[in-house]
Structure 1
Amino acid sequence: MKKSILFLSAAVTLLATAACQNFKKGDGGLEYNIVKDEGAEKAKAGDLLSVDLIVKSDRNDSLLQSTYDIGLPQIVNIAPDSIPGLYAGDYNSMFKMLGEGDSAIFRLNIDTMAAKTGQPKPEFADKFVTFTVKVRKHFKKGTQTDSALYAQIDTYFKGEIEGLKKSEEGKLAGYIADKKLEPKKTATGLQYIVSQEGKGNKAMVGDTVVVNYTGTLVNGKVFDTNNAETAKKENSFNPMRQYEPIRFRVGHDPVIQGWTEGLQLLNKGSKATLLVPSSLGYGERGGGTIPPYAPLVFEVELVDIIAGPKTDAAPAAATDSVATKK
């Protein structure tokens, strides 16, 4: 948790620095500001960089990507200039200006990108896409085989994921403290707060439940919701999706264990917050924008309970999150 906060603080510092300094002009319309140069060897073709990265569009300063949301760095492969489609001032060029410990802000000119690559100009930006980069580690290809190089990456990421595992309990405890919550806790580790009590019987295995929900990471990042307004606010709205309550049969349809257990604690009309440890969610694998060992927060409303047969045996616990079921 502390490590993520430190990196995020560094990113904020970089953005603040960029705001008060002039960018230098590079090839292909690329603009750059090397905020910190550690003097280390710069990346070459064949090398790999582990980076923390924030990507923004100049259109309404929209956030396109952030590695800080999931707490894991991104691996950037430095490609040879001879690869078709690459040009001076492109994405690849940016990272060749950096070495271990360096940090910088780049503005990639999308007009140049469209002209050089022959691809349509992306609709999410007007002129620039801004990359705020901090290099964690430089993996040098040198005379190594590809298999030896990628073995280093594998070992490196195992260490990063182990760090996420060790920090999970602290992240959830910090969230509860920050929000001043007083949740109840079940034997499995699920924690919950009922904010609005419903009426009638509680949901049971075999019942079909109808649910409104929003799922977030403990840093507040929304990873799934059936609320259209929330999706628009988070810049994740999908016009092809139907934003309506989700239905599933408790104990039978594939949802995470935290949902199967948590919704049986509620009756029709209840609203609650479910604090789901990774052991009841996505576990060590993660999924999509959900990192490994991520505790999850769900705001749920149990709209309806449709009674079902109670004689069927429940299958083994599912591992897929309802948040990914459309």
Structure 2
Amino acid sequence: MKKSILFLSAAVLLTAASCQNFKKGDGGLEYKIVKDAGAEKAASGDLLSVDMTINSDRNDSLLNSTYDMGLPQIVNIAPDSIPGLYAGDYNSMFKMLGEGDSAVFRLNLDTMAAKTGQPKPEFADKFVTFTVKVRKHFKKGQLTDSAIYAEVNKYFEGEIEGLKKGEEGKITAYISSNKLEPKKTTSGLQYIVTEEGKGEKPALGDTVVVNYTGKLTNGTIFDTSDPELAKKENQFNPMRPYEPIRFSIGNDPVIQGWTEGIQLLNKGGKATLIIPSSLGYGERGGGGKIPPYAPLVFEIELVDVVKGTGTAAAPSLPEQIPAEPLN
């Protein structure tokens, strides 16, 4: 619920700013200060903890959002003397903000290309829009680098602890909002068989072929074997194959929730797996798309089962190497 409120607040900020004229800054930068909390603004060497969404002006496509991860982004304010920086660039935006401030910036890509000598990115036409809320301002002052980063690390430990404490609530809210009635195993895995298969169940040592879509409990899809869905979600990667994943149960490294969940299905069956982080990517998260302590939802289809020649030994959870999302 907290993440939903935060995401909504970002959307409100963007909508409010879009209804008003942006001010013109250096280097073609356009900006709208939505809230000025009156705090000291960031300076070179400082760090900001921010909630942020990044949108392309091409079909208003969402490029990135800290709200998906449930963790803020740390922005390091670089000195102006660093080569490649210019007035009106990414670094300039954050020097306009302090703790408690919020704003919308439109970074001019034509200026960026001219100033840096780099080609414009292909994902936008002229502007990239940043909607920013500053959570915390870490002031460099006379602190050593190690001292200020120690502050940041302590801060992030608290943020991650909050994710850990909130995991069970995310699972409960997902089940309730989707009106699901899952079965639950002793490990904590919850599942709903949506289509009964007609073949046999796989066992340890068997090779399985699986179609899948993985998402967070807020609905954000982080990986899929379906190319059309990947395109729809603006996640299509032409460098990877979009086809069912093939792996040997108990031999190939997949998350424990898959090792257990796949064995609950008959060949041809489909199911929704609700996987707690203890059976997923745990305290580390995965692939830059899955936060620490994130419960996961997988829609899976067991396409085929190839019987193994012998029974594999099931890897214990601490030794299980999580498979990273393929995107």
Partner of 1:245: 244
3-state secondary structure, aligned to 1:68: helix
Partner of 2:225: 226
Cα distance in 1 for residues equivalent to 2:300 and 2:83: 49
1:309 is displaced (CA, Å) by: 2.4
Contact between 2:250 and 2:312, CA under 8 Å: does it hold in 1?
Answer: no
Partner of 2:8: 9
Cα distance in 2 for residues equivalent to 1:119 and 1:291: 32
Which consecutive aligned stretches of 4+ in structure 1 deviate over 2 angstroms post-superposition? 309-326
Contact between 1:100 and 1:136, CA under 8 Å: does it hold in 2?
Answer: yes
Partner of 1:116: 115
User: In terms of mean alpha carbon deviation, does 143-152 or 7-16 score higher?
Assistant: 7-16
Q: How many correspondences in the alignment?
A: 325
Cα distance in 2 for residues equivalent to 1:255 and 1:67: 26
3-state secondary structure, aligned to 1:262: helix
TM-score of the two chains, using structure 2 as the length reference:
0.97
Partner of 1:304: 304
Q: Deviations over 1:37-70 (max 9, x none)?
A: 0000000000000000000000010111100011
Partner of 1:283: 282
Q: Deviations over 1:193-238 (max 9, x none)?
A: 0000001321100000000000000111111111000110111111
Letter in 2 for 1:120: P
Cα distance in 1 for residues equivalent to 2:259 and 2:300: 13
Cα distance in 1 for residues equivalent to 2:277 and 2:177: 20
Cα distance in 1 for residues equivalent to 2:215 and 2:174: 12
Contact between 1:216 and 1:222, CA under 8 Å: does it hold in 2?
Answer: yes
- Over the aligned positions, Cα root-mean-square deviation in angstroms equals 1.2
Q: Deviations over 1:89-114 (max 9, x none)?
A: 00000000000000000000000000
1:242 is displaced (CA, Å) by: 1.4
Cα distance in 2 for residues equivalent to 1:55 and 1:122: 14
Cα distance in 1 for residues equivalent to 2:24 and 2:265: 59
Give structure 1 stretches of 5+ with no counterpart.
none
Contact between 1:224 and 1:323, CA under 8 Å: does it hold in 2?
Answer: no
Q: Deviations over 1:234-289 (max 9, x none)?
A: 11111121111111001110000000000000010000000000000000000121
1:321 is displaced (CA, Å) by: 4.2
1:322 is displaced (CA, Å) by: 4.3
3-state secondary structure, aligned to 1:269: coil
Contact between 1:215 and 1:323, CA under 8 Å: does it hold in 2?
Answer: no
Q: Does 1:215 align with 2:217?
A: no
Contact between 1:36 and 1:104, CA under 8 Å: does it hold in 2?
Answer: yes
3-state secondary structure, aligned to 1:297: strand
Partner of 1:18: 17
3-state secondary structure, aligned to 2:60: coil
TM-score of the two chains, using structure 1 as the length reference:
0.97
Cα distance in 2 for residues equivalent to 1:319 and 1:221: 25
Cα distance in 1 for residues equivalent to 2:164 and 2:320: 18
Q: Deviations over 1:180-201 (max 9, x none)?
A: 0000000000000000000132
Partner of 2:28: 29
User: In terms of mean alpha carbon deviation, does 244-253 or 313-322 score higher?
Assistant: 313-322
